[in-house]
Amino acid sequence: MSESRGAKPGPEPADRVVIGITFGNSNSSIAFTVDDKAEVIANEDGDRQIPTVLSYVDGDEYYGAQAKAFLVRNPSNSIAYFREFLGKDRGANNGVFNSFKSIDPTYCHAAAHPQDNAGNVFFSVKDKDAEGEASSVSVSEAATRYLRRLVTSASDYLGKKVTSAVITVPTNFSDKQREALIKAANDADLEVLQLISDPVAAMLAYDARPEAVVEDKIVVVADLGGTRSDVAVVASRGGMYTVLATAHDYEFAGVQLDQVLMDHFAKEFIKKHTTDPRSNAKSLAKLRQEAEATKKALSLGTNAQFSIESLAEGFDFSSTINRLRYEMVGRKVFEGFNRLVEGVVKKAELDVLDIDEVIMCGGTSHTPRIANNLRNIFPESTKILAPATNVSAINPSEAQARGAALQASLIQEYEANDIEQSTHPAVTTVKHISNAIGVVTINPDGEEVFTPIMQAETAAPARRTVHIAAPKDGGDVLIKVVEGGTHIKVTKPEPKAKEPVNGDKGSDADSDFDSEEEEEEEKREKIWKLGKQLAEAAIKGVKKGGKVEVTINVLADLGVTVTAREVGGKGGVRGNLAA
């Protein structure tokens, strides 16, 4: 995954004021770093998750939560869910006017509709005055106007003009989309120091915490947003990140959970008033906003209110829902998130047992059911970093903006041209070893034991050293360096004789429940499977209680050098292997 930065000459490094930005389809955030700690900035409305919406009323421009509120009364002059269209044209339309192939305008139905101008996407809004002619605002112009508002909010907060930013983007953002984003930012007078990928931004936020131990690990980053969910499996090896697999999904995200609640309450309303509030655009918009608020309340509490004044045909509506009911009516959507995450782990050709951490970010990751479901899918040893499952989890809505701000502060002193060569944590495109490399020694019971020295997916070049204890009384130590793969050993539980149920058959539901209760889970464990032998060395006459040091050096072309010597002793053995 390459990273890119703005081409426009920016300010001198010493004159920069930098921030981190996440620019989502639903919400955006701005963050800055003070004393090596990143903080998300609240805008003038007090919001840290700032809706990515612009709205024009009588020639005034509103943005964020105020603009989002106007989606009920002023939808046709409001621009929402447009980030996704940056750098995309209308696509081939088979001669059908306004038929978009490369963009999905679904979410814009409740706002200004994207239109086609010679292959470019634009919105028609009355941005000068309510009576006047509508203007054509291109997607790029909308992004520039919105980013300008974000930068102004950040500048007001910091008391100085923000000049530069690191912006996060999804891993599947194309070069064209990156260029379009950089151009939109430059037009808003913002220098783009670097675009970093969303999952890496979240990992940076975690790895920068004072308590973080930078260790080799495999992490799933589940970025669950409003209109899309992006899941990535990332190997972190010696501070280098390698993306192993990704998935991008538009079927399971926050709006589908809003829909579940909208349908639930619409049905209740129909029962009372025999009219469907979803059939009228304004009622639908009210329903949508209240459903989202109720959904968020259910992440915090176990009960939530749902009330709307004059929902449809002049009828007010008020109801409540508890979390259990919400989880029941939304079951299919919740299961979708499980499948999404499991699918990416499989795509990376890994098992859930291989995953050390699941970082949950994006607003939808606040949902307790989603985090709890993942808790059940992964083994105990996997940390599920979400508010519902881990007290030290970073606020999922803030992790990526914080990561971007940290990266911005790390690279701000570099000349623009040097940033591309920056050695700071980055997603790598370099080669990485596909199998672990380790040593096989004989334990006191005479069994072969594999100790991994370098994990699979370590980016080359890399060097690791281990010390191996010699036999108690010293003597000759035989070191075998081999490649190791893992496989999952499944131990089925001993079948138990079933006890008769005393004639009480119970209902179907009951018996299902019983059998689940009784069934012991099979045991799954990760076992090393030895592969190709790379080197063998005998270190003669190691002294009593001595140790042998083995160093593995993987070169950039994946050639391997192995060195073995007695710690504190003279000489040693060295061998080279071609890539």
Contact 20, 203 (CB under 8 A): no
Contact 202, 400 (CB under 8 A): yes
Q: Which stretch binds ligand ATP (CB under 6 A): 144-152, 236-244, 295-303, 481-489?
A: 295-303
What is the C-alpha separation between 373 and 362, in angstroms, rounded? 17
Question: Pick from 171, 397, 435, 441: which binds ligand ATP (CB under 6 A)?
Answer: 397
Is residue 253 at the binding interface for ligand ATP, with CB under 6 A as the rule? Answer: yes
Question: Pick from 27, 164, 171, 455: which binds ligand ATP (CB under 6 A)?
Answer: 27
Question: Pick from 364, 441, 486, 553: which binds ligand ATP (CB under 6 A)?
Answer: 364
- Quick one: which of 56, 415, 26, 53 has its CA closest to 258? 26
Mapped onto helix, strand or coil, the DSSP state of residue 325 is: helix
* Strands 560-566 and 164-169, bridge-based pairing: unpaired
Question: Pick from 5, 183, 237, 295: which binds ligand ATP (CB under 6 A)?
Answer: 295
- Binding map of ligand ATP across residues 135-174, x = CB under 6 A, - = no contact: ----------------------------------------
Q: Which stretch binds ligand ATP (CB under 6 A): 199-207, 267-275, 345-353, 359-367?
A: 359-367
Question: Pick from 296, 424, 431, 543: which binds ligand ATP (CB under 6 A)?
Answer: 296
Question: Pick from 64, 114, 330, 363: which binds ligand ATP (CB under 6 A)?
Answer: 363
Cβ of 473: how many Cβ atoms within 10 Å? 9
- Rule CB under 6 A: which of 264-293 touch ligand ATP? 292
Q: Which is nearer to ligand ATP, 253 or 266 (by Cβ)?
A: 253
Contact 542, 477 (CB under 8 A): yes
- Rule CB under 6 A: which of 299-328 touch ligand ATP? 299
- With a CB cutoff of 8 Å and minimum separation 6, the contacts of 485 are 435, 436, 456, 528, 529, 531
- Rule CB under 6 A: which of 104-123 touch ligand ATP? none
What is the C-alpha separation between 358 and 384, in angstroms, rounded? 5
Is residue 246 at the binding interface for ligand ATP, with CB under 6 A as the rule? Answer: no
Q: Which is nearer to ligand ATP, 204 or 440 (by Cβ)?
A: 204
**Host H or E run for residue 297:** helix 281-300
Nearest approach, Cβ of residue 107 and ligand ATP (Å): 8
Nearest approach, Cβ of residue 228 and ligand ATP (Å): 4
Is residue 20 at the binding interface for ligand ATP, with CB under 6 A as the rule? Answer: no
* Strands 135-138 and 164-169, bridge-based pairing: unpaired
What is the C-alpha separation between 113 and 134, in angstroms, rounded? 13
Nearest approach, Cβ of residue 367 and ligand ATP (Å): 5
Distance of CA 405 to the CA centre of its chain: 16
Question: Pick from 10, 75, 87, 362: which binds ligand ATP (CB under 6 A)?
Answer: 362
What is the C-alpha separation between 64 and 154, in angstroms, rounded? 13
What is the C-alpha separation between 546 and 568, in angstroms, rounded? 9
Q: How many residues bind ligand ATP (CB under 6 A)?
A: 22
Is residue 254 at the binding interface for ligand ATP, with CB under 6 A as the rule? Answer: yes
Q: Which is nearer to ligand ATP, 363 or 438 (by Cβ)?
A: 363
Question: Pick from 366, 402, 432, 565: which binds ligand ATP (CB under 6 A)?
Answer: 366
Q: Which is nearer to ligand ATP, 162 or 224 (by Cβ)?
A: 224
- Quick one: which of 88, 90, 97 has its CA closest to 140? 88
String of DSSP letters for 32-88: EEETTEEEEPP-TTS-SSEE-EEEEETTEEEETHHHHHHHHH-GGGEEES-GGGTT-
Nearest approach, Cβ of residue 170 and ligand ATP (Å): 8
Nearest approach, Cβ of residue 443 and ligand ATP (Å): 49
Is residue 197 at the binding interface for ligand ATP, with CB under 6 A as the rule? Answer: no
Is residue 43 at the binding interface for ligand ATP, with CB under 6 A as the rule? Answer: no
Contact 393, 385 (CB under 8 A): yes
What is the C-alpha separation between 352 and 505, in angstroms, rounded? 37
Nearest approach, Cβ of residue 524 and ligand ATP (Å): 31
Nearest approach, Cβ of residue 343 and ligand ATP (Å): 18
- Quick one: which of 244, 250, 196 has its CA closest to 220? 244
Nearest approach, Cβ of residue 22 and ligand ATP (Å): 7
Q: Which stretch binds ligand ATP (CB under 6 A): 248-256, 320-328, 435-443, 535-543?
A: 248-256
Handedness of CA 64, 69, 74, 75 (dihedral sign): positive
What is the C-alpha separation between 220 and 234, in angstroms, rounded? 6
Question: Pick from 24, 64, 336, 438: which binds ligand ATP (CB under 6 A)?
Answer: 24
What is the C-alpha separation between 418 and 410, in angstroms, rounded? 13
Is residue 26 at the binding interface for ligand ATP, with CB under 6 A as the rule? Answer: yes
Task: State the residue for tokens 């599920």.
Answer: 384
Question: Pick from 1, 4, 17, 25: which binds ligand ATP (CB under 6 A)?
Answer: 25
Beta bridge partners of 550: 466, 564
Site of interaction with ligand ATP (CB under 6 A): 24-27, 49, 225-228, 253-255, 292, 295-296, 299, 362-364, 366-367, 397
